[in-house]
Chains A and B, each alone.
Chain A
């Protein structure tokens, strides 16, 4: 089932949770709503489910406007962050609940319910726990039961609200892979909310990046990681270095130093800009005292070299205004470990940072 979100606006008091959001979720995809806490992603999910009412706008499920449809007739499955299992019911009764409350005319027989519940419990690999109570299960088990319960009513859409948020890192990783596998088997349109970029990049077919009630970018994990559309997406996804400066000829003037870049055609000379580069897109050059080329790179001091695994992480700092100790800028560069050893980089050394790739955004005027 496809989901269309049309001009949804929602405020809580003076806080705008969703600012006129419109979105399309094609049938059968696993989509991640990604953003920092308070960006409106959970509110959007709850509005799609019908647990929250928007101030204006509509949710269209398979070409039918659901604004007036009660929650129980929307045929959505919802998985809560804190599981929301019925404490006083066994695992079996929890999963059977959605079938038991159906009106008598459409309710399956006792045997059919039992068959179906055991099949679902086998699907989440927990049939052996069917007579236990939720309090007797671990977090990961509870979340899988919650998923089985949501699937029991054969929803056309599956909505997951930070499904792995309350679990520890290892279990999280395992369940993540397992959810992806499950989705590949069932092909049910699914949306999950997360603030964990790694989770979104790893599991989703598409990622919707949200910030302060607005959508920043929509795309496949590759697209949003490699070609972030806005400064926010750049800053939010992955590690990134940030440069403040002014466009000057073929490069950006940052303090006394200059970074070269290829993108300046579209930006007027002298405009104030912010530039982003990932740690692996930066390189380090050892200063050649004789050449004295001020035009290339930012001079910085190596603070720390962390060599773990095949790559070394190098932390550097530079004062953007000469002589001003308070305005230190921090940078991170990633180099192969062998390279660090070959070039004899050491902590405390003064070097230049150059960028192999740089993404430049013109800075809005009010930021000054």
Chain B
């Protein structure tokens, strides 16, 4: 079937048993020590004073508001980046225009810039002493150390995920189907809705899942613009830090376990989407017949 099993079956192409065992042990122990152990410790620490204490910790008002803020930031950032990502990858892969390479480079900017720098940029631009700070002050708008700043920072750091996922996929699919649709009389919207979108839907979902995970887990950029006002500008990761700094370990781990759960859910969703993506690209074989 697949290449790996074909290689395995033949003695000529398979490795000696000792090497196989060694590689397997090495990777499993690395995985156990650096990934599984910390994850387990999060849950044991969170639950070691009992389930009731755990629920009290996560329903505490400040934590509750942190959860709401995280969900709000993700609910704004993810759809915006979804629209932007689809538009950018559509433009980049289906049209030729001046500045295309600049756009591709700029999309990667949030990946190459440290999140802390990203946060500082927003403080510099929108903060009280920043370029537009006085204008915002005059109009009674607060961006930095308030909810809008957190949303902005979240949008910035999660910006590339959807576009990065879609560009290679759409590049590989080419323009032919869109050209066929245009010749058949479809307008731009019909072409996108009936031809392009069905072809990219699993890739798009994959990008959205990654984007969402990052939006909820972002720490650095959000930390800079948040101001850490309890019950007002703290997201879940910031709340974890505060609780930890206050030596409230059990509560800190309890809140952290929410993020860990989110990560697990993301992994499951991601695996499912990956499986669907693979299924769709490996089409069933042709029917034998006349010509």
Contact = CB atoms under 8 A, between A and B. Distances in A.
Contacts of B283: 87, 133, 135-136
A101 B194 contact: yes
A76 interface: yes
B286 interface: yes
Nearest to A77: B183
A192 B197 CA distance: 31
Interface in A123-138: 129, 132-133, 135-138
B184 A138 contact: no
A101 B184 contact: yes
Contacts of B181: 86, 97, 101
Contacts of A171: 291
Interface string A58-87: 000000000000011100111010101111
Interface stretch (B6-14, B185-193, B223-231, B245-253): B185-193
A165 interface: no
B287 A102 contact: no
Contacts of B179: 51, 78, 80, 84
B22 to A, nearest CB: 41
Contacts, number: 86
Contacts of B180: 78, 80, 84-86, 149
Contact of A138 (B187, B194, B288): B288
A72 B177 contact: no
B186 to A, nearest CB: 4
Nearest to B288: A138
A102 B179 CA distance: 16
Interface string B245-286: 000000000000000000000000000000000000001111
B182 interface: yes
B291 A140 contact: yes
A86 B287 contact: no
Interface in A76-130: 76-78, 80, 82, 84-88, 97-98, 101-102, 129
B288 A149 contact: no
Nearest to B189: A101
Contacts of B16: none
A84 B185 CA distance: 15
Given A97-B194, A101-B194, A137 B184 contact: no
Given A72-B182, A77-B183, A153-B184, A86 B177 contact: yes
A50 B195 CA distance: 19
Interface string B117-157: 00000000000000000000000000000000000000000
B289 interface: yes
B194 to A, nearest CB: 7
Contacts of B287: 129, 132, 136-138
Interface string A201-236: 000000000000000000000000000000000000
A98 B283 CA distance: 25
Interface string B158-191: 0000000000000000001101111111110010
Given A80-B176, A86-B195, A135-B283, A97 B186 contact: yes
B199 interface: yes
A19 to B, nearest CB: 22
A175 B290 CA distance: 11
A94 to B, nearest CB: 9
B291 A78 contact: no
A49 interface: yes
A289 interface: no
Most buried by A among B183, B190, B291: B183
A102 to B, nearest CB: 6
A150 B286 CA distance: 22
Nearest to B177: A84
B99 interface: no
B199 A88 contact: yes
A136 B291 contact: no
A97 B291 contact: no
Contact of B289 (A72, A87, A141): A141
A101 B183 contact: no
A71 B199 contact: no
Contacts of B195: 86
Contacts of A153: 184-185
Given A71-B183, A78-B179, A97-B181, 9 more contacts: A73-B185, A80-B176, A82-B176, A86-B198, A87-B177, A102-B185, A149-B184, A174-B291, A175-B291
Interface of A: 49-51, 71-73, 76-78, 80, 82, 84-88, 97-98, 101-102, 129, 132-133, 135-138, 140-141, 144, 149-150, 152-153, 171, 174-175
Lowest 7 CB-CB distances: which A-B pairs, in order? A135-B283, A140-B291, A98-B184, A84-B176, A84-B180, A101-B186, A88-B198
21 contacts: A49-B183, A50-B183, A51-B182, A86-B181, A86-B194, A87-B283, A101-B184, A101-B185, A101-B186, A101-B187, A135-B286, A136-B283, A136-B284, A136-B287, A137-B287, A138-B288, A138-B291, A141-B289, A144-B291, A149-B184, A174-B291
